Copies of this chain bind each other. A is one copy, B any other.
């Protein structure tokens, strides 16, 4: 028996007055998900634990059975792996934005007006060397970058240069440990920030943007310093050959760090315009080869973070239409859940548990006939935590070792 795990990023929400105090998922017409709930086993999942508000990276790690307290080392490495960096054990990785600052390094715009074509700018700041340390920069999606600091005796215990707000000044990166290696790393990173700024300010592309009245991308805002976690592979843990389908680079990076085969799907953008049909088709094909397929769908989260609960509802309805063929799959366990709740009203992640449904031949059933945050309270799974999911799935496919005799 195979497993298809569909993680709909930020699927769960809170009741919204404008939706008659229903959530986007409750309000959405989701006959296929409801059918899965009717025939399968539902419940509520705390991606990490009760009262933990997870980021997407941490929510994912926990759901895959990797205790984030042990394995989470900050998001930089997942971003870096996502853009294609092959990290060494000594590299320190940041995620970052191209941003716009004034002469006093006051942040005018954290995303340089959501600049997209940053290839030339990245080239201009990639490969800078100072004090025996090399800075490697790769373009991420949109305005994003990954920055890898490569050298001897570096530390990742560093604060962000990104104040995470506009109309504030760029912060100096500070050492978070009182060690020579840490102070040294902070110093050279700050020097890199300064030098890259000087390069960017004068870059022809930015001068051209200013002439056109666009915001110049003249600052790299860095955050999430981290080193590569020693993650045991998904295969070594579960004996399952696994593949991942995700538009977002961070999710690809995370899957790659777990040793999953990342499958590229044309039209999978990690955004609202993503080709869900193509992703479902790719997942179905992958199930012929792999034991476990992880399918990530991002935009439900982004739309909620933009506060657009109507678009979130419509996006969920699109997903529901496209999953119809999955109900016909034989010998496959289908799991639908989320990595966290995203409140469309608050425009941020919350700690609420997320609905989960597991569907497949011979599974225990319950009285749940619709799939949403409220209905699954009465499901047989009850309340589970991320770390419980993989054992439950292994049990369903007959690969959970017995404890005792």
Contacts and interface: CB of A to CB of B under 8 A. Distances in A.
B380 A377 contact: yes
Contacts of A391: 50-52, 351
Contacts of A395: 51, 53, 350-352
A402 B349 contact: yes
Interface string A339-376: 00001011011111100000000111111000001100
B346 A364 contact: no
Interface string A367-400: 1000001100111101111001111100100101
B388 A56 contact: no
A404 B68 contact: yes
Interface string A35-71: 0000000001000101111111111010000001000
Nearest to A56: B404
A380 B72 CA distance: 29
B363 A403 contact: no
Contacts of A402: 53-55, 349
Given A58-B403, A366-B377, 15 more contacts: A14-B362, A15-B362, A15-B363, A44-B380, A51-B388, A52-B403, A54-B403, A55-B405, A58-B405, A59-B404, A353-B382, A364-B373, A365-B374, A377-B382, A382-B382
A362 to B, nearest CB: 6
B404 A50 contact: no
A228 interface: no
A345 to B, nearest CB: 6
A144 interface: no
Given A374-B380, A378-B377, A382-B382, A403 B48 contact: yes
A351 B51 contact: no
A3 to B, nearest CB: 14
Residue among A48, A56, A350 with the most chain B CB within 10 A? A350
B21 A365 contact: yes
> Would you list the 8 A-B pairs with minimal beta carbon distance, nearest first?
A55-B404, A51-B391, A58-B404, A351-B395, A75-B405, A55-B405, A50-B388, A382-B383
A131 B253 CA distance: 59
A343 B397 CA distance: 13
13 contacts: A15-B362, A50-B384, A50-B391, A53-B402, A55-B403, A55-B404, A55-B405, A72-B404, A343-B362, A352-B395, A353-B382, A374-B380, A382-B383
A224 interface: yes
A401 interface: yes
B362 A404 contact: no
Contacts of A350: 395
A404 B75 contact: yes
Residue among A349, A351, A382, A405 with the most chain B CB within 10 A? A405
Nearest to A400: B53
A93 to B, nearest CB: 13
A366 to B, nearest CB: 6
Nearest to A58: B404
A140 B382 CA distance: 41
B57 A351 contact: no
A345 B401 CA distance: 18
